Amino acid sequence: MSEQRPDKADKERKATQPKRGKKFQRAQTFSDEGQEALRVAAMAGGAPSETNPVDLSSLELPPKEAEALSHEARVLEALPHHIALLDSTGRILWVNRAWRHFAIANDLPSATYAVGANYVEICERATGPNATEAPTVAQGLRDVLSGKVDTFSMEYPCHSPTEKRWFRVLITPIEDGLARGAVVSHINITEEMLARQALEEHEARQRLGLEAARAGIWRIQLAEDTIEFDETCAKLLGWQHPSRCSPFSAFLRLVFPQDRDHVRAVARLAHSAVDVYDAYFRVRWRDGSIHFIHARGHALASTRDAAPTYVTGILFDETESQRRAREHEAVVKLSRALRSATNLDEAGRVILEEIVHAMDAEAGLIALREGEEEKIVTLGAIGRWEPLQGTDATWEEGILGRVASTQTPYFSESAWEDPQCLRPDLLRGLRGFMALPLISHQELTGVLAVGRTTPFDAEDVQLVTALADLASNALARIRHYRALEERLEELRGLHEIDLAITHTLDLDEVLSQILEHTLPRLGMDAGSVYLLEGDSDILVCRAALGFKSLHVWHARPSVGLGLVGEVAKRRAPILLSGHEELLRKCRRSDMLAEEGFSAYAGLPLLLGPKLIGVLNFSRVSLAISRPSG
C-alpha cells in the first residue's frame, strides 16, 4: 500500500470537509451531555457484540438528542464500511457491525473488537506484510485529532492467505463544543483496485501493441473540423509542434499534394454514415524522407440514430512494408525484362529504363569497364545524359572514374559543384545524384549513375543498390556468355582451318586458307601475311586477301620500316584507327588512298622467341579495338 498522492487527498478533503476554522457537523449537533452519553453507552454495556450492540435507550437524554443519537448510531451500524468512533486521545469507543464481522472472519485476537484500545498505539505496534502503511495512518490520525489537517485518507492493501483485498482508510474529525474525536472508516475498494489494475494492464498492453506496430491514436471532431493526435501520431507524421487540437487543414498541409484529395474524400464519407474508413497517403518529413501512412478510423455518434459526431482511429506507418513491396516489384520487373536481353546494348537499355522509372529520375547512365584496362566506356545513357552515349573516361577522370577506381558509391545533392565533375552542365539542378559501382564476383563490371531534381533518401539508395546488384550480375553474365560464344567460334574456325590445311603441304596455300577463314570471323575487309625471307630482315608477302590492287604483293618492307616493319621490330601488336593516323604511319599512302582503309591491326608471328613474320588486318570504316575479357 502506498500513501495517496497529495493532489488526490486534497480533492477528497475539499469534497468531504468544510473550510478550516469551521466546526465539523454531522446530521445533528449534540450537546456536551450527548457526547459524554455516547462514551458512557459504549462502555456501560461492555464490549459490543452481535447479541449486545450499543444500547442507547437506557440513557437519560432530552428526547430530540436521544432520537438523533439513536438515529446516528443506527446509520453507522448499518453501513457496509468498517467504522470506529474514537475519542480525542485515539481510544476506540465503539465499532459498527461491519467492523465486528471483519474481526470475526479474520480471527483478530481481541474479544472486544479493540474497543477500549488506543488506535494510534495499535498502528504503531502493527507488524506483518500488511503493516507497512500503519505508521502513516497513525500520524494521519494524530494530525486529524490535533486539528492540523481536516481529513486523512490513504489506500492500502490488506491481503489474506486466500484473497487479495484493498481498503481506503478515511479519518474525519468529530467536534462539538469542548469535545473532540474522530470517525475512522475502512472502505473496501477491492473491486475498484482490481478494475483499475485491469485497466492499467489493458492500457499497457495496448500501448505496447501500438508501439510494436508503430501506431498512434487520433480523433476528428466533425462539427469543429479539428483533429487531435497522440505523441506517436505526431512523430509518424513528422509534425514538429502540434497542438492538442489542430485544424484539419493544418493536418492536410502535411500530406503529399497528390494524396490530399483522397484524404478529403475519405473524411467526407464519415459525415454520411457510421462505418470504418481507410486512408492511405504519404508525408514528407523535414529531413526530406518520404513516409507511407495508413489511417483507419471509425465514425461514431452520440446516440444510435444520430449522425456521426466524430471519427477516431489508429495511424500506422507502412513505410517499411511499402519499401519492401516497392523493392520486390522493381526487382521482379527488372529480372523479367533482363530475361529477353541477348546482348550488352539491349541489357543496358532495359536496366536504365527500369531504374529511371522506379526512381522517377530525369537521367540515367551505365558505363562498363573496358577489358582489363583502367577505363570505362558509356554503354547507355538516357534522359538529360543522352549526349554522354559512347564517351569514355579513365579511372583518374571525373566522378564516375573515381567511383570505378575506389569501388565506392558516390552521393551528392550538388554534384555539379564537385571539382571532379567533367560535365557540370548536365548535372546542374539535379538535387539527387548517385553513382554506384557495379560489382560481380568481387570484380568491377562498371558504374551506374542516376539523377533527379529531388534528393534521394535512404530507402531510394537501398532500392537502387538492390537493382544495381541485379544489373551487375546480369551484365557480367552476358559478357561471360558472349566471351564463351566467341571462344567457341574461335575453336570452330580453327577446326575449319585445320581441315582446310590438312589437304595441302603448300605453305602459301595454307596461309591463304587461314586468311579466308579468319577475315569473316573477325569482321575484317582485308588481310595479308608477311614472312621473313631467309635470314634477312626483308618481309615478303606470302598471302593476301581482300585487296583491290596488287601493291601488297610487290611490297618488300624491312624490319623497322613502315607499319609492317614496325610491328616486326616491336614484336608487339599495333592498332590504328582513323584515316589521317594511317596516312601518317603508312609509307604507301597511294595504296592506302586506293584501298580506302580507316583501321589497321598488325600482329607479330613468333615461334618461341624467334620472329617469323607479321599478320595484318585492315578495315574500311569501323575502328579496331582490343577484345574484352
What pLDDT, in 10s, does the model give residues 214-272?
A: 778 888 888 888 888 888 888 888 887 666 688 888 889 889 999 999 998 888 876 66
pLDDT tens sequence across 431-482: 999 999 999 888 899 999 999 998 998 888 988 998 999 888 888 888 887 7
**pLDDT classification of 35: cutoffs 50, 70, 90:** very low
pLDDT tens sequence across 486-507: 777 777 777 776 776 676 678 8
CB atoms within 10 A of CB 626: 11
Q: What is the signed CA dihedral for 7, 10, 14, 18, rounded to 10 degrees?
A: -160
**Residue 303 has what pLDDT?**
67
- For range 543-558, the mean pLDDT: 87
Residue 291 and residue 315 in contact, taking contact as beta carbons nearer than 8 Å: no
**Residue 139 has what pLDDT?**
94
**Residue 55 has what pLDDT?**
44
Q: Quote the percentage of the chain above a pLDDT of 90.
A: 28
User: From CA 151, how far away is CA 9, in angstroms rounded?
Assistant: 9
- Asked which of 65-69, 391-395, 573-577 is least confident by mean pLDDT, the reply is 65-69
Between residues 501 and 628, the one the model is more confident about: 501
Reply yes or no on whether the pLDDT at 152 is more than 90.
Answer: yes
H helix or E strand, kind and range, residue 311: strand 310-317
Between residues 307 and 535, the one the model is more confident about: 535
DSSP per residue over 383-431, as a string? ETTGGGTT-EEETTSHHHHHHHHHT--EEES-GGGSTT-S-HHHHTT-S
User: From CA 528, how far away is CA 548, in angstroms rounded?
Assistant: 13
Residue 503, C-alpha cell as written in the block: 589437304
Reply yes or no on whether the pLDDT at 109 is more than 70.
Answer: no
pLDDT tens sequence across 127-148: 877 788 899 999 999 999 999 9
**Residue 20 has what pLDDT?**
37
- Asked which of 20-34, 43-57, 346-360 is least confident by mean pLDDT, the reply is 20-34
Between residues 305 and 48, the one the model is more confident about: 305
Q: What is the signed CA dihedral for 150, 155, 160, 164, rounded to 10 degrees?
A: 150
Mean pLDDT of the chain: 80
- For range 387-393, the mean pLDDT: 88
Between residues 367 and 300, the one the model is more confident about: 367
**Residue 406 has what pLDDT?**
92
User: From CA 484, how far away is CA 477, in angstroms rounded?
Assistant: 10
Whether pTM > 0.85 for this model: the answer is: no
Q: Where are the alpha helices (DSSP H) in 238-277?
A: 248-252, 260-269
- Asked which of 53-62, 105-114, 521-530 is least confident by mean pLDDT, the reply is 53-62
**pLDDT classification of 39: cutoffs 50, 70, 90:** very low
User: From CA 284, how far away is CA 256, in angstroms rounded?
Assistant: 7
DSSP per residue over 484-548, as a string? HHHHHHHHHHHHHHHHHHTT---HHHHHHHHHHHHHHHHT-SEEEEEEE-TTSSBEEEEEEES-S
- For range 538-553, the mean pLDDT: 89
Range of 51-60, 63-72, 95-104 with top mean pLDDT: 95-104
Distance of CA 378 to the CA centre of its chain: 35
**pLDDT classification of 366: cutoffs 50, 70, 90:** very high
Residue 143 and residue 152 in contact, taking contact as beta carbons nearer than 8 Å: yes
Q: What domains sit in the chain, N to C, each tagged with a CATH number?
A: 6-192 (3.30.450.20), 213-317 (3.30.450.310), 323-483 (3.30.450.40), 507-619 (3.30.450.40)
Q: Rounded to the nearest 10 degrees, what angle do helices 458-501 and 319-339 cross at?
A: 20
HSE toward the beta carbon, residue 205, CA cutoff 13 A: 5
Q: Which SS3 state, helix, strand or coil, does residue 580 take?
A: helix
H helix or E strand, kind and range, residue 618: strand 610-619
**Residue 67 has what pLDDT?**
54
Rounded alpha-carbon distances, angstroms, from residue 177 to 16, 29, 36, 54, 181: 21, 10, 12, 24, 11
- For range 384-393, the mean pLDDT: 89
CB atoms within 10 A of CB 12: 15
- For range 351-366, the mean pLDDT: 91
